[in-house]
Structure formats: C-alpha cells, structure tokens
Amino acid sequence: MKIKELDFIPGFKKKVMLAPYTTWNIGGPATYFWEPNVEQLPKVLEYAHKNAIPVWFLGRGSNVLIDSKGLDGIVICTRKSLQEINLKDDVITAEAGVPMPKLSKFAAGLGWGGYEYLIGIPGTVGAGIAINAGLTANGRKEIGDVLIDVELMDMKGNRWWESKERLALGYRASNIPERRLFILRARFKATYHDEIEEIKHKTATHLAERRRKQPLSKPTAGSTFKQPEGGKPAGWYIDRAGMKGFQIGDAKVSEKHANWIENDGNATSNDVLQLMQVIKNKVASEFSVYLESEVVALN
C-alpha cells in the first residue's frame, strides 16, 4: 500500500514494528505509523476514509493482541502524543494519550478521591474510556464513574463533544465503534475531597496488592477474559480447570494469576489465540461457563 500523499505530514513513519508498542510485546509491522496531532488528524482520517485505507488506533498497547503478521494500513498511536492534562473550574481535561496513572496522580494532587485505582491501569485515557476500564474486585469501579464527556472525531474529521450518558458505558464496554470514532480528549469531574496523605496511602496499598496478586514483571495484557456472569472471576475457573502454567508456543497461563497470559519469550499472536481457545473450551466443558475476551484483537 502506498500513500505518498501523506508523506508530507510530520512524523509519518513506514514499516514500524508494533511489538515494542504493546505490553505483550507481540505484533508485526505497521505499514504506516503515526503519532497524531490534532491539527493534522482530520486530514489523515479523511484521506484514509476516502481511499479505503484501514486505520487502527493504539494507545499504550496494554489491552490489544496485534497480529504477528502486522497491520497493512495506518496505525495511529497516542503513546507519545496528545499528552496535555489541565485543570479549569474544577474540571480536569485530559487528552487521549494521557496515561491513566498520570490522571490518577493529577487527581490525587488536587485531593480528589475516587481516582486512586487508576494508578494500576497502564493504558491511556482514550482507550480507557473506549472500553470503560476499571476494577471488579471489591465492588465495580470504572473510569466512567468520574467522566463528564468526551471529544470525538469521526473518519471524516468532524469533531464534537458527547456526554458520558450517550456513550452507553457498561462493563468493559461503550458504544464507541472500534476503528470508526477517535477519542480526542475527555473531561473529568471533581469528586469528594480527601486528605492527600489518605489518597497516597490508598494508592500505595492498591499497588502493593496488585504486585502481590499479578505477574507485573512479565509481558502480559492484564486480564485476558472478562468476568463471566455468575460472580466468580474468570481466573477462578481457569485455575480450577488446572490450567496454570499451561503453554502453547511461548504463550503461557500465568502461575501467579490464571486470567493473565504471559509472553514467555517469543509468543506470536497465534500462540495466544490458540491458548485462549483451549482455555475457553476447557472452562466451557468443565463449568458450562463461556468466557469472553477482554483483550481486543487487532488484525
């Protein structure tokens, strides 16, 4: 695929390996790769739309499984761009690429409670809203709880604000269509005020708990499957099905947390997909529980 017309756009790169842009360290090359700026984004999206060029959005790659064969199109990645965060009239505005841990610290600095747990979710605000990232342990908490509204851009470059109520936020879900609407920025509300020391304490406790339970030193994408209906976490079933340590290629069910898949070296997207299928089959046959992927496959 050749898109010479976009060569003039600053920062447009060709043949960029995507694995280093993901926490799983899996993914082949993107034909075109771009870290966007707001001024040029409409031009790029419109061009891609008119010419039927596939576009993928990528934040910090902590919830995606990218095809090891690569992505033939344009990958628009906010790892380094759209990083502005500010406070005005008791409202935080954060651009899409702001990491959720940074939002958590920013809110903590204001003494706002309710953002503490975001310290442990290593993705961006944009992706976090698209999938309504959050926690299920000790009661459901989601980024949507503190959201006011989002600024969206469609594939024709149109921009508008949409209230949280119109995003149909649910458990790891929103109505923002994958690859068709880009979240540019979001506004967050002041919550209850708390002592900064108390917030710091809650944040540190939360991180310590994660370190104890989760394989944070390994390449993973966090939880692989959503919590199924019925109250028990996916890891409970996978563990009871005896799958901890089970491996296909270099994709391995974590010994520390059964719902996490580790890349034990050079895992491919196929290794992970096959392993996920085996897990689903085993859990379905033993418990009649049907696991659904939390991770988004980009291919």
Ligand X SMILES: Cc1cc2nc3c(=O)[nH]c(=O)nc-3n(C[C@H](O)[C@H](O)[C@H](O)COP(=O)(O)OP(=O)(O)OC[C@H]3O[C@@H](n4cnc5c(N)ncnc54)[C@H](O)[C@@H]3O)c2cc1C
Please list the active-site residues: 172, 223, 294
Is 144 an interacting residue with respect to ligand X (CB under 6 A)? no
Is 127 an interacting residue with respect to ligand X (CB under 6 A)? yes
Is 68 an interacting residue with respect to ligand X (CB under 6 A)? no
Please identify which residue in 41, 92, 108, 133 interacts with ligand X, judged by CB under 6 A: 133
- The 3-class SS string of 200-259 reads HHHHHHHHHHHHHHCCCCCCCCCECECCCCCCCCHHHHHHHCCCCCCEECCEEECCCCCC
Please identify which residue in 126, 144, 233, 235 interacts with ligand X, judged by CB under 6 A: 126
Is 36 an interacting residue with respect to ligand X (CB under 6 A)? no
Is 59 an interacting residue with respect to ligand X (CB under 6 A)? yes
Report in angstroms the alpha-carbon separations of 40 from 9, 213, 219, 252. Answer: 8, 43, 33, 41
CA–CA dist 179, 27 (Å, integer): 18
Please identify which residue in 23, 174, 227, 254 interacts with ligand X, judged by CB under 6 A: 23
Give the DSSP H or E segment for 196: helix 196-213
Is 29 an interacting residue with respect to ligand X (CB under 6 A)? no
When the beta carbons of 25 and 282 are compared against ligand X, the nearer one is 25
When the beta carbons of 182 and 225 are compared against ligand X, the nearer one is 182
The alpha carbon of residue 181 and the mean position of all alpha carbons in its chain are separated, in whole angstroms, by: 15
Rounded to the nearest 10 degrees, how much is the dihedral formed by the CA atoms of 114, 119, 125, 128?
A: -80
Is 66 an interacting residue with respect to ligand X (CB under 6 A)? no
When the beta carbons of 169 and 176 are compared against ligand X, the nearer one is 176
When the beta carbons of 59 and 235 are compared against ligand X, the nearer one is 59
Report in angstroms the alpha-carbon separations of 196 from 89, 143, 200. Answer: 20, 20, 6
When the beta carbons of 48 and 130 are compared against ligand X, the nearer one is 130
Q: How far is the CB of 63 from ligand X (least distance, A)?
A: 3
Q: What are the beta bridge partners of residue 94?
A: 85, 186
Please identify which residue in 110, 190, 216, 278 interacts with ligand X, judged by CB under 6 A: 216
Q: How far is the CB of 282 from ligand X (least distance, A)?
A: 23
